[in-house]
Chain A
Amino acid sequence: MTTERATRGRLPVVLVLPALLGLAFLLLPMVGLLVRAPWRTLPARLVGAEVGEALRLSLVCASLATVVCLVLGVPLAWLLARGDLPGRGVLRALVTVPLVLPPVVGGVALLLVLGRRGLVGQHLDAWFGVSLPFTTAGVVVAEAFVAMPFLVISVEGALRAADPRFEEAAATLGASRWLTFRRVTLPSVLPGLVAGTVLCWARALGEFGATITFAGNFPGETTTMPLAVYLALETDPDAAIVLSIVLLVVSVGVLAGLRDRWIRGAT
């Protein structure tokens, strides 16, 4: 008891100092944005332009992409953690490819597969008249492609850390594998799932390269906030800063709000 208090009482400098440096490193660029922001003209700029449209599109697309990632990514994480697959290590590495790939390359790769002349896309176009590039659905596809690894890795890590004996106990009590997954496995990895979902949504919200390459840029259809920021930077850096601050405030607000609710609900 006394040793515990002793270790808690004084934080080791070797940890605190780099921690504070790390915090400053992450926060200072944001301070830079806030300092350079044109505060006097900010309200006028917010009312004008297509800020609302781009913001709405960003939130809708990032949320839809997160739903896609949850529907496909959680089962994939389960398969990687629990499935008895040959070459699981290679599969696990392959899942992280979108993380390593420069997003612009990811966008070109998506075009080569799902584009009008792409491997799969040409059939979608010929059989169903569906063409993903230059549509809002294309934005969701690009964001999901880039963001899904964050979810899969988080959930897989949580699954591997979870104690499989609870699942075994459920099985001996007669629960089916699906019931066990829903009632035992998922609740036990909830914190990892929440963390993965948050990361996934945040990554999708900030996505730029794959989106502009695969889905193009058209106001109201595919121009999300990061695209609007990039184009504003070409002619009007002040407008770009305003847009960035809006995106920052909204995303931090949403994440802080959700975090409190979800984490509390999970424990």
Chain B
Amino acid sequence: MRRLVAVVAALVVAGCGTSDEGSAPGEVTVFAAASLTESFTSLGKDFEAANPGIKVKFNFGGSSALAQQLNQGAPADVFASAAPANMEQVADTGTITATPTTFARNTLQIAVPKGNPGGVGGLADFGKAELKIALCAEQVPCGAAARKVLAAAGVTAVPDTLEQDVKAALTKVSLGEVDAALVYRTDVKAAGGKVEGKDFPEAGQAVNDYPIAPVAKARNAAGAQAFIDFVRSEKGRAVLTEAGFVLP
């Protein structure tokens, strides 16, 4: 028992020791939208390399699911959402009190299977009944964005399926089960050569802002701020641009 107390005391002292060395100590837990998986994983490694002693832990998921987890008290230091609406959900409960910063923007692209077997040229093709079309369900951000651009283009889409998230829609494209889907530019990039992306003029009608903010009860407030600063640094901007994001 006495030995245990000694070990605990030593650990506490050691913990205090590192925190005195300047940069934020320990671990930063980041809750981030699923569409940030590739770019934030890479950014996390760079951040750890630039800040020895700090570990970044990620929890990637749908923004609304993450918001619900945060509101139920999940331990996190930073929240990066794919939509302002989900950031508002956590702000409403006081889980986040800081003013969120928009650090990236995402727009939609038409994704078609390699070789474009359906001969899809633009949004107008989404109204063709003979083509298999996947859209995101309107309840999720990519579905709401799809509705906006289709309305702006004056196209009445005839989808065969309303997918539960953007990655599911992308899977249907990469497997060739649908001829086209509306997904984010970053998802097309992340899919590598398996799908082709096509830009369309109405994409500017639905720009998705990505807000980031520290959690009010962050266990590592300094680390949280350091990570947010890193995301907004030159290095962070380069990684996000590479992933297909548009920067504010």
Which residues of A are interface residues toward B (Cβ below 8 A)? 108, 111-112, 115-117, 133-134, 212-213, 215-219, 222, 227, 230-235, 237
Q: Is the CB of B64 within 8 A of A218?
A: no
Max chain B Cβ within 10 angstroms of own Cβ: one of A133, A227, A232:
A133
- Say yes or no for B137: interface residue by CB 8 A criterion: yes
A212 to B169, alpha carbons, bound, how many Å?
Answer: 11
Chain A interface mostly = helix
A-B contact count (CB 8 A): 60
Contacts of B134 in A (CB 8 A): 216
Give the size of the chain B interface in residues (CB under 8 angstroms): 20
Contact flags B154-178 to A (C-beta < 8 A → 1, else 0): 0000011111100010011001110
Q: Is the CB of A134 within 8 A of B176?
A: no
Contacts of A218 in B (CB 8 A): 159-162
Q: Which of B68, B140, B164, B176 contacts A212 (CB 8 A)?
A: B164
Task: Tell me the smallest distance from the CB of B134 to a CB of chain A, in Å.
Answer: 7
Q: Is the CB of A111 within 8 A of B62?
A: no
A216 to B136, alpha carbons, bound, how many Å?
Answer: 11
A115 to B68, alpha carbons, bound, how many Å?
Answer: 35
**Further contacts, 8 of them, CB under 8 A, given A212-B163, A216-B172:** A115-B177, A116-B176, A218-B159, A218-B162, A231-B140, A233-B64, A234-B139, A235-B64
* 5 nearest A-B pairs in the assembled complex, by CB-CB distance: A216-B161, A234-B139, A117-B176, A134-B160, A235-B139
- Say yes or no for B132: interface residue by CB 8 A criterion: yes
A232 to B138, alpha carbons, bound, how many Å?
Answer: 10
Q: Is the CB of B160 within 8 A of A115?
A: no
Q: Which of B132, B140, B175 contacts A134 (CB 8 A)?
A: B132
Query: Given that A115-B177, A237-B68 are known contacts, is A216 also in contact with B160, CB under 8 Å in the complex?
Result: yes
Task: Tell me the smallest distance from the CB of A119 to a CB of chain B, in Å.
Answer: 12
Complex A-B: 25 CB contacts under 8 Å: A108-B175, A111-B177, A115-B175, A115-B176, A115-B177, A116-B176, A134-B132, A134-B160, A134-B161, A134-B177, A212-B164, A212-B168, A216-B134, A216-B163, A217-B164, A218-B159, A218-B160, A218-B162, A219-B162, A231-B164, A232-B139, A234-B137, A234-B139, A235-B64, A237-B68
A92 to B11, alpha carbons, bound, how many Å?
Answer: 52
